[in-house]
Amino acid sequence: MSNTEFDRKPSDKAKTGAPLLACYDDLEASCAYGWSMLARGVKDRKSAFHTPSIATIAANGSPTMRTVVLRGCETDAKTLRFHTDRRSGKIAELQKNPLAAMHFYDAGAKIQLRLAVRLEMLSGDAFDAAWEATRPMSRECYQVTQSPGSVIENPAQVQFDAAASQDGEMHFVPVAAHVLRMEWLYLAARGHRRAMFDFENGTQNWLVP
Ligand SMILES: Cc1cc2nc3c(=O)[nH]c(=O)nc-3n(C[C@H](O)[C@H](O)[C@H](O)COP(=O)(O)O)c2cc1C
């Protein structure tokens, strides 16, 4: 038996069902609701959308995934942002292929978003703004002297050097995720709702769940 409602038939009326969102049968409102959840994911550390998974393609052609913290959401520009170490594997991967996928699931809301994104390392004013907003505790991560993912014999060999890394700034990089498409999935006992929003083509369609 599954714990989710995904394998429940539409005819199985749930006795425990949460009240339906107003956007249930409204394509445009579903898209707006998805974006509102992304915006909340930035500000609300308890939101499930605060820590999405992002998948890139490794040099050998296989997908690789990791969790990141969602740091920015510009709804009008359809752009998200996360921060990372410019020496990390994901940066080498996005430099070869900037197309990536992001995954969000809020089990309470029963909403999954799958995003097709194009990644871009930010520089200039966008870099400065992101670095200035970074807290001292977060900066420490970027002060590690060895590249993230390097093989070491002993965890005690990991070293941090604030001065040599300009407080971590030289290793830090904000990354924009330009959202190309958003796939919405809303699980509901009355019948699931699935939709595709293509921001490149400006199209929106319901899909069979
Ligand atoms: C809750 C959580 C939040 C994380 N946030 C970030 C993040 O914002 N940026 C980041 O580079 N790595 C973050 N990580 C670590 C990554 O998941 C990953 O292990 C690391 O970045 C190395 O990935 P890569 O070798 O694929 O580049 C986080 C991990 C967890 C579990």
Task: List the CATH number of the domain containing 171.
Answer: 2.30.110.10
Asked, for residue 193, whether it belongs to a domain, the answer is yes
Asked, for residue 152, whether it belongs to a domain, the answer is no
Q: Does residue 3 carry a pLDDT above 60?
A: no
Summarize the confidence of residues 147-162 as an average pLDDT.
95
pLDDT at 14: 47
Q: Does residue 162 carry a pLDDT above 50?
A: yes
Check if the beta carbon of residue 111 is closer than 8 Å to that of residue 171: no
Amino acid at position 35, single letter:
W
* Domain of residue 106, residue span: 27-145+159-207
Percent of the chain with pLDDT over 90: 90
Asked, for residue 89, whether it belongs to a domain, the answer is yes
How far does the centroid of ligand 1 lie from the alpha carbon of residue 66, in Å?
6
Instruction: Establish whether residue 50 lines the binding site of ligand 1, counting it when its CB lies within 6 angstroms of any ligand atom.
Output: no
Instruction: Establish whether residue 83 lines the binding site of ligand 1, counting it when its CB lies within 6 angstroms of any ligand atom.
Output: yes
How far does the centroid of ligand 1 lie from the alpha carbon of residue 194, in Å?
29
Asked, for residue 11, whether it belongs to a domain, the answer is no
Most distant CA pair in the chain, distance:
64
Summarize the confidence of residues 45-69 as an average pLDDT.
97
Sign of CA dihedral 137, 141, 143, 144: positive
Confidence of residue 105 (pLDDT cuts 50, 70, 90): very high
pLDDT at 32: 98
Residue nearest (by alpha carbon) to ligand 1 atom 31: 67
Q: Does residue 42 carry a pLDDT above 80?
A: yes
How far does the centroid of ligand 1 lie from the alpha carbon of residue 97, in Å?
19
How far does the centroid of ligand 1 lie from the alpha carbon of residue 89, in Å?
10
Provide the mean pLDDT of the chain. Answer: 93
Total number of domains in the chain:
1
Summarize the confidence of residues 31-47 as an average pLDDT.
98
Check if the beta carbon of residue 23 is closer than 8 Å to that of residue 35: no
Asked, for residue 17, whether it belongs to a domain, the answer is no
Cα separation values, 5 from 8, 17, 45, 121, 164, Å: 5, 10, 26, 38, 52
Residue nearest (by alpha carbon) to ligand 1 atom 3: 68
pTM: 0.93
* H or E, element range at 113: strand 111-121
